[in-house]
Structure 1
Amino acid sequence: MIGEIDDALKALVKASEGIAADIDIAFDAPTTEWAARRNAPTVDLFLYDIREDVRRREYGWSEQRDERGVVTARAPAPRYFKLSYLVTAWTQRPDDEHRLLDALLRCFLRYDAIPGTFVVEILAETGLPCSLTIAQPPPEDRAFADVWSSLGGELKPSLDVVITAPVSRDVTYAVGPPVTDGVAATFEDMGTGSADSRHRPAPRGR
């Protein structure tokens, strides 16, 4: 799942207007050592946090049907996971970095979810979209400055891109075939006597 999302984000950046086609795309932690080794304009998509979106957890079952609409199996509802990427631009000049960040912002603002053409393999198992948000306020238990301090690097402008992906739990329970025959009953079959006795009023008690 993570690899498919990495590939989708890389493809979106590569296809975006305002971003050179030959720009480097990296997924490295932007540490001081990494920055010192960089020698070409680079967009870094650093995956720094993975956590379940517990507010979207469901405990029901989803049904799998054949071409006739008959239920053939049931599976537990998927779990949703939020993947947070720290997106940074690296060039020789700050103003060039700002222009590149602007292009990246416009790139991701075009989408509310990963486009269907990039939803493949594991991402496609549930048939549900992978939502995309950008530059939202961080959770109360995490600040962007904390991310930079943990990396040992200097704070610099960045974009926070969060992908919320539904993940199948790889558990399926087969169901039995539908019932095609049985015993039918009519109202006439429910009586125990003749038609006259069924409609005769009951005697009153004394």
Structure 2
Amino acid sequence: MSIVQKVDDTLERELRQGPLHGVNAQVVFDTPNSDWAARRSGLCVNLFLHSVEEDTAQRQSGDTSIIDEHGVVVAYHRPPRHFRLGYALTVWGHSPRDEHRLLGTLLEWCVATEHLTPYPEPSKGNTLALKLRETPEGSEPPAAKLWSGLGTPARPVLDLLVTVPVTRPATPVEAEPVRDLTLRAAHLTPPRSPDGQPNSSPRGRTRGTSRPRRNVEEVG
């Protein structure tokens, strides 16, 4: 399941358990163009995903070491990146009064709700941040520009922003770490003279001053 699908499922579940509990209304994620609006019937809450942008204010740098049971660094974990998913929430009903009544209920829910519990993995404890987009004074709300492009008459819209963390895979350590070192000593057999007798005076040493030598083998 993709991260966007998880957010869709989370929003639908939260709405049905909250402001839409007991309300006979559909929850869809369609593009509200003129053809869709003409085919629609019944009370409907539409969540149109119109933008995906990174929240650069939450971007972090630096990696976290992943250590195994022996205390050895085996990988590096990179911090997640956060993205804002913009949903245009609109209500479609039989009359403007029906739409306004439900839109007001949804507005109150948006103001009172700051976090969403991810679905279908609520046990992980990672919440999703929810808020309404803030439009600078004198600027046109981004969601309001949708209607001209979709060919649909303008209507009230709640521009929801859901911030979701996107994790990145850990980077394993390329080289296998050295876990131990073994040293082995072996006795060096002295050379023999032509008559078969051990020669205790190896070449390059003065007779009577030879010492036993050992080979040292390093094993990783």
Q: TM exceeds 0.5?
A: yes
Residue 163 (structure 2) aligns with: 164
What is the CA deviation profile of residues 28-82 of structure 1, one whole-angstrom value per residue up to 9, with x for unaligned ones?
0111110110111100000000111122222211344668998653211111111
Residue 114 (structure 2) aligns with: 112
Q: 1:20 to 1:90 in 2, by over 3 A?
A: farther
Residue 191 (structure 1) aligns with: none
Is 1:19–1:103's contact at 8 Å kept on the other side of the alignment?
Answer: no
What is the CA deviation profile of residues 86-116 of structure 1, one whole-angstrom value per residue up to 9, with x for unaligned ones?
0000001111101111121222333212125
Write the mapping of 1:130-149 to structure 2, written as runs, cut at 5 A.
Answer: 130-137=128-135, 143-149=142-148
Unaligned runs of 5+ in 2: 182-220
1:137 alignment partner, SS class? coil
Shift of 1:128: 4.4
Unaligned runs of 5+ in 1: 182-206
Residue 73 (structure 1) aligns with: 75
Q: CA RMSD in A?
A: 3.1
CA distance in 1, matches of 2:86, 2:94: 26
Is 1:12–1:107's contact at 8 Å kept on the other side of the alignment?
Answer: no
| More divergent stretch after superposition (49-58 vs 154-163) | 49-58
Amino acid at match of 2:131: T
CA distance in 1, matches of 2:70, 2:23: 47
Residue 62 (structure 1) aligns with: 64
Identical-pair percentage: 33
Q: Which has the higher contact order (CA 8 A, sep 6+)?
A: 1
| More divergent stretch after superposition (62-71 vs 43-52) | 62-71
CA distance in 2, matches of 1:129, 1:68: 33
Amino acid at match of 2:14: L
Amino acid at match of 1:24: Q
Q: Normalising by the residue count of structure 1, what TM-score does the alignment of the two structures yield?
A: 0.72
1:163 alignment partner, SS class? strand
Length, aligned pairs only? 176
Is 2:73–2:173's contact at 8 Å kept on the other side of the alignment?
Answer: no
Q: Normalising by the residue count of structure 2, what TM-score does the alignment of the two structures yield?
A: 0.67
CA distance in 1, matches of 2:110, 2:93: 20
Residue 95 (structure 1) aligns with: 97
Is 2:75–2:170's contact at 8 Å kept on the other side of the alignment?
Answer: no
Q: 1:107 to 1:64 in 2, by over 3 A?
A: farther
- Of Structure 1 and Structure 2, the greater strand share is in 2
Q: 1:173 to 1:111 in 2, by over 3 A?
A: farther
- Of Structure 1 and Structure 2, the greater helix share is in 1
